[in-house]
Structure 1
Amino acid sequence: MPLDQVCKDPANPAGRERQRQAFEHLMAAFEASADQPPRERWLYLEAAHVIGQNRLALHWRAHRRMLAFARQLRDEHEVQGQWRQLGYAVLGHVVRRIPQGNTGRAIVPAFRTMVPSAAVRQRISAAMAAVNPDTPSASAALE
Structure 2
Amino acid sequence: MQRSFSQRIAPYVEAELANATWARSIGNIQQEFFYLERAHVIGQESTYWHVKVHVLMLLWASRNNSLKEILGQVFRIVGAATKTAFGLVPQGNTGGANVSPFKKMPISPELATLIEKAKSSV
TM-score after normalising by structure 2: 0.79
Task: State the Cα distance separating 1:31 from its structure 2 match.
Answer: 0.7
Amino acid aligned to 1:115: P
Task: State the Cα distance separating 1:16 from its structure 2 match.
Answer: 4.9
Task: State the Cα distance separating 1:110 from its structure 2 match.
Answer: 1.1
Task: State the Cα distance separating 1:13 from its structure 2 match.
Answer: 3.1
Q: What is the aligned-residue identity percentage?
A: 27
| Runs of 5+ unmatched residues, structure 1 | 1-11, 129-136
SS of 2:15's partner is helix
Map residues 3-82 of structure 1 onto 2, 5 A cutoff.
13=3, 16-34=6-24, 35-82=26-73
- Verify the 8 A CA contact 2:20 2:31 in the aligned structure 1: no
Residues 1:89 and 1:16: Cα distance change in structure 2 (over 3 Å):
closer
Task: State the Cα distance separating 1:14 from its structure 2 match.
Answer: 8.0
| Runs of 5+ unmatched residues, structure 2 | 117-122
SS of 1:89's partner is helix
Pairs aligned (count): 113
Alignment of 1:89 onto 2:80 = yes
1:30, 1:39 → 2: CA distance?
A: 10
